Amino acid sequence: MIIMNCITPVIAFALVSFSLGQLGDGLNIFQGIYLVGVGWNESSVGVALSLMGGTALVVQTFAGDLVDKTTVDRRIFLGVASIVTAISALMILFVQEGNNDHALIFGTKVLEGIASSFIGPCLAALTLASFGPNDFDRIMTNNILWGHIGSVASAVFAGALAYGLYPNIKYCFLVIGFSAIVAILFLKFLPEGDPLMGRGFHGKTVTQEDGSIIASHDNTDHPQAASYLEVFLDRKIFVLCLTGFFFHFANANVLLVLGELMGEDNEDGSVSRKAIPLIAGAIVLAQVTMSIATVAGGKLTEMGVGRKALFLTGLITLPMRCALIIWWKDSGDAFLLSTQIFDGLGGGFFGLLHPMLVADITFGTGRFNVVMGLTASCFGLGGTLSNLLGQMIVEHMGHVASLTGSLFVSLIPIAIFGIFMPETLGQRGANKHQGSDLEGIKHDVHYHEMA
């Protein structure tokens, strides 16, 4: 009971983020290894692993819109999404020997894509609803950090189980089911916050002693949200979508190529036991570096360093990574593995700044989560095309040609963001679509003074 009473909203968000971090798609690599090991061909594995991303690509914008407009407690959405994601991922345990059971895996990957599309928007909405725009950056940084730590833990546990049980590695996926259970247990400690603030409006709120926010009893006003067209045509959103598309278009295939360059395959084409710790190590090294980049980015943000400088820092690491892999392709696995530090830096700054930029641009429009979904869909489209075209180039022209293509494409988002994106730090809420929000601000200040 004493331990339960010590779980503040900040700690609860950290625990849930840690658990949800273990539900990420990092274990898809191990799923691919397992399916090849039981007789699936590479094309079937490729279709299975791309179905989740393809489904999320379509669903994410609509999921964000639903999270914005719903009157249902967003914690319920988050819980259901976590359970469905875990159950879908665990269906791989029922795959039999041979190149069959396609319908089972293909169907569950579609469900996993739908469910996972709600996790990010729900967590971001609950964070904004519970701590408001002023503390959003600090709490979201903490959430992202613990999400990375969760990804590290899942990769370590799954990699150790996969290596120990090789070639029968299917039980490593129980890590996903356990993570979902932990997430559900701690969901009840998350505050609901102010539902209106969770979609990017200024609410009429009361600040509690633990720093979290609750909607006041008379929070009955419903400000008018900006039109979809006006929000989607905002130049800053267009630049962010385009930047993220080209970044992921250049980036997603690089890890696949790196995995193909490290270790050796068995004679039947399946991944060797030696490659498992290398793949797990690549995931862990990237996620650890992302954790460090997240902490550093959060501290720099608190010091007033602008979004643009930090985001560009993340973008610049990608061409450096591609160049080093090309240079070190024959230098051994240790050199290749070390390039994941740049993946961690790029992914860390990108993942940290993405929700902050969206909050800066959309706060006051009531379209925070739908834009989170829209941008994520653009990023996913880039990643999907990257895997498809990048592997085609590998097949016909080799690894160096694929990496060289990624290197040149990675220069495009740097130019787009550097030239066309203005600084957004300090602009949160400076939106013409405040409407009755102005009264909400005054009311909010009044309650803060009384709290």
Report the CATH number at residue 9.
Answer: 1.20.1250.20
Among 41-50, 177-186, 398-407, which stretch is predicted with the lowest mean pLDDT? 41-50
Give the count of beta carbons closer than 10 Å to the beta carbon of residue 110. Answer: 17
pLDDT score for 309: 94
Residues 6+ away with beta carbon under 8 Å from 223: 196, 201, 202, 366, 434, 435, 436, 437, 440
CA distance 100 to 38: 9
Domain containing residue 422: 2-450
Burial of 389 (0-12, 13-18, 19+ CB in 10 A): middle
pLDDT digits (tens, 9 = 90+) for 89-148: 788 888 877 666 688 888 888 898 898 889 989 999 999 999 988 889 999 999 999 998
Taking the C-alpha atoms of 183, 184, 187 and 192 in order, what is their torsion angle to the nearest 10 degrees?
Answer: 120
Confidence tier at 280 by pLDDT (50, 70, 90): confident
Number of domains in the chain: 1
User: Per the structure block, which two tokens stand in for 342?
Assistant: 């740049």
pLDDT digits (tens, 9 = 90+) for 312-341: 999 999 999 999 999 988 888 888 888 989
For residues 20 and 23, the model is more confident at 20
Give the helix ranges, DSSP H, for 166-222: 174-187, 195-198
pLDDT digits (tens, 9 = 90+) for 340-379: 899 999 999 999 999 999 999 998 888 999 999 999 999 9
**Average pLDDT value over all residues in the chain:** 82
- Nearest of 427, 262, 435 to residue 339 by alpha carbon: 262
pLDDT score for 358: 93
User: Per the structure block, which two tokens stand in for 435?
Assistant: 């409407």
pLDDT score for 450: 30
Inter-residue contact 197 to 205 (CB < 8 Å): yes
Taking the whole predicted model, whether its pTM rises above 0.85 is answered as no
User: Per the structure block, which two tokens stand in for 56?
Assistant: 């999320």
Q: What are phi and psi of 158, to 5 degrees?
A: -65, -40
Is the pLDDT at 223 greater than 80? The verdict is no
